[in-house]
Amino acid sequence: MTALAPIGHNAPPDPIDAICAAYEGTRMEAENWLDGTSAVDDEPTMVAVDRIRSEARQWRLELERGQKGATAPLYDAYKAEGARWKPTIDDAKRMESGLVSLVDGYKKKLAAQKEAERKAAWEAARAAEREAEEAARKAAADDLDAQREAAAAAEAAMAAKAAATEAQRDTVKGLRTVTRYEITSPRDLLNWLAQNRKDDVMAFLEEWSRRNHKPDPSAAGLRVWTEKEAF
């Protein structure tokens, strides 16, 4: 009886496996050299290692070409689908931004009005509280009318505080607080950073030097030199 072939037996070979199989000898030689004990101290050995390194480079380049060939269609499809959605999304964003802009002025005006009302409510609550405290202090224990007035003042203070609390909750929806900034003195800011954020300054200087050490090798405080290294 003929054995059934396993599922997927007719699938094409994995290109990674195919490329690696062609460089199996290179891989084995490289692993032998990279055992932590090998050393290069003469020219024939150097030439041998350079040969393996050249083969390893070709191996890596073929893998990268294979990767690009495998992912390019997926990336192209991703870009095409993104491009298909983008105009409609952009138009929806434009409408959203336009509507936000349309109500921005009134919302700011309304928020300012509510803020003024909130402050007035808390000022009234504090004034009522002071009046209640003064009435309670002046009311003699045997003066019924004064005691009644003090109680009424205390209730009025509680009501004023409740109204102020309610005004605190009354906010304008769709309006947020944003923090903005302006550099008023670049020199002062740089001095402050140098004194208080040295790590940030060094990170910026390292990145700037990495990008600009060739076009600006004579920049003050920067040393640029050349040396040989294996590749």
pLDDT tens-digit profile of 97-154?
Answer: 999 999 999 999 998 998 888 888 888 888 888 888 888 888 888 888 888 888 888 8
Find out whether 121 and 164 touch, Cβ atoms under 8 Å.
yes
> What's the pLDDT score for residue 9?
55
Query: Whole-angstrom Cα distance, residue 23 to residue 9?
Result: 24
CA–CA separation, 168 vs 51, rounded Å? Answer: 77
Tokens representing 151? 């109680």
The enclosing H or E element of 129 equals helix 43-138
Residue located via tokens 């191996």: 59
Q: Helices in 139-224 by DSSP H: which ranges?
A: 144-169, 186-196, 198-212
Whether the pLDDT of residue 159 is over 90: the answer is no
Confidence at 29, pLDDT banded by 50, 70, 90: very high
In three-state secondary structure terms, 94 is helix
Q: Model confidence at 58, in pLDDT bands (50, 70, 90)? A: very high
Whole-prediction pTM:
0.61
d(CA 213, CA 207): 10
Q: Could you tell me the residue ranges of all domains in the chain?
A: 183-217
Residue 38 has pLDDT above 60, yes or no: yes
Query: Whole-number mean pLDDT of the chain?
Result: 90
